[in-house]
Amino acid sequence: MTHVTTVARTAALAGGLLLAAATAASAHVGQAPHVHGFGDGFVHPLLGLDHLAAMLAVGLWSATLGGAALLAVPAAFVGLLMIGAVLGAAGVPLPAVEPAITASVVVLGLLVALSVRLPLVPAALLVGAFGLVHGYAHGAEMPAAAAPLAYGLGFVAATALLHAVGIGLGLGLGRLAQRRGAVRAARLAGACVAGVGVVLALA
């Protein structure tokens, strides 16, 4: 089995799992009021194109950086995501959250598309700052009838899974790095993410 087939099957499986989770969590819509828990929190990042694109891009870029950044950069995003969620849920003012989220999609996409390499600390700080605003949005948008801990664990789990999917795709493409098509594919993925950010900004 070729690396291409393996990567394709892994991506398809991950996508299927994400879709199944989203469908299950969305099944509550239109039904009687309920306490929003883990499933609702899990689906929240999956329904926002800005969150979805940014989190996949974090994984892709981390795989490009390699070494300690492979785990440290996504961990910085998740860590600051949780802090941001607490701030958002508490109603602590944070200016320009939506523009910052849109900017994160554009910047992360360009980092992948242009194969930008930064030292570990600056890379983690940059991605962590993006995680803060994404987390703030999750916390601020948390339903009033929510179990905060379960809901929070839901969107943290979804975020980590999206990072893992991005890392898996990035590593798969990295194994094909000697093939010119693989390099183009990685850059194309980053360009698509950046394009999503531009569209969101114009919208």
Cα separation, 70 vs 76, whole angstroms? 11
Q: What is the pLDDT of residue 155?
A: 94
Cα separation, 86 vs 99, whole angstroms? 20
Q: What is the pLDDT of residue 76?
A: 97
pLDDT exceeds cutoff 50 at 72: yes
- Mean pLDDT score of the chain: 81
Q: What is the pLDDT of residue 104?
A: 93
- Among residues 8, 122, 5, the alpha carbon closest in space to that of 65 is found at 122
**Mean per-residue pLDDT for 22-41?**
57
Residue-wise pLDDT tens digits, 134-150? 999 999 998 887 888 99
**Mean per-residue pLDDT for 33-59?**
87
Cα separation, 171 vs 98, whole angstroms? 30
Cα separation, 63 vs 33, whole angstroms? 41
Q: What is the pLDDT of residue 5?
A: 44
What pTM does this model have?
A: 0.79
Residue-wise pLDDT tens digits, 161-188? 999 999 998 888 766 655 555 556 777 7
Contact (CB, 8 A) for 133 and 108: no
Residue-wise pLDDT tens digits, 91-117? 999 999 999 999 999 999 999 888 899
- CA 124 distance to own-chain centroid: 14
* Phi and psi at residue 36, to the nearest 5°: -75, 120
